[in-house]
Amino acid sequence: MIDQLKKSPLIPVLRKLPEESFLSIAGALIDGGVKYLEITMDAEEAPRLIRLAKQHFGEQASIGAGTVMSVEQAREAIEAGAEYLISPALVDEVLLYAVEQGIPMIPGVYTPSEMAHAYSLGAVGVKLFPAASLGSGFVKDVRGPLGHIPIIVTGGITETTARDYLDAGAIGVGAGSALLDKDLIAKQDWSGLTELTKSWIARLN
């Protein structure tokens, strides 16, 4: 997963989107070039959407679960076919469960101590969240002593700032509302969403 992220660093975060438009949204993102889809588990329909995404796009993208904050959510996500788990915060028992199940997990962290602790428990990388509160300079600084720990950044990242984090040493960028533009979705402008995705990817490559 980490090696692939370095080649395709954009991870769209699909959170509480209109279920009737889910496949169109996911398809537009994939047409734009993304190789990862993160479907958040803070909605009742999340396991069903993971299954749908796997069925329709499993050959084109790696489908994972986000906002995984309990062992129960982790279990549901894995049973639905999630290939990786991401969380906004570090919960030891959830990370240990993922490791036990052989599923890559990237837990949320905010400090160097949390980064080191998560990695020692078996995280394949860490998610700096909310990254915009710390800035790309933090990534550059922490990469000095902790350069062996892969970092993705999420939270307040925009199309114009995303590249700064990669230049600072992050390997991936999670993008929510800044990529999943609510006006494009409301208008069902899927070609517009595809073009926006291409624009993000062009900046990151």
Query: Annotated catalytic sites, by residue?
Result: 38, 127
d(CA 64, CA 36): 7
Which two three-digit tokens encode residue 99?
């490791």
CA dihedral sign, ordered 25, 61, 9, 65: positive
d(CA 81, CA 54): 7
d(CA 204, CA 92): 32
- What are the distances in angstroms from CA 54 to CA 71, 82, 104, 203? 21, 8, 17, 27
Q: What is the dihedral of CA 101, 106, 107, 109, to 10 degrees?
A: 150
Q: Which residue has the tokens 């986000």?
A: 66
Name the amino acid, one letter, at 31. D
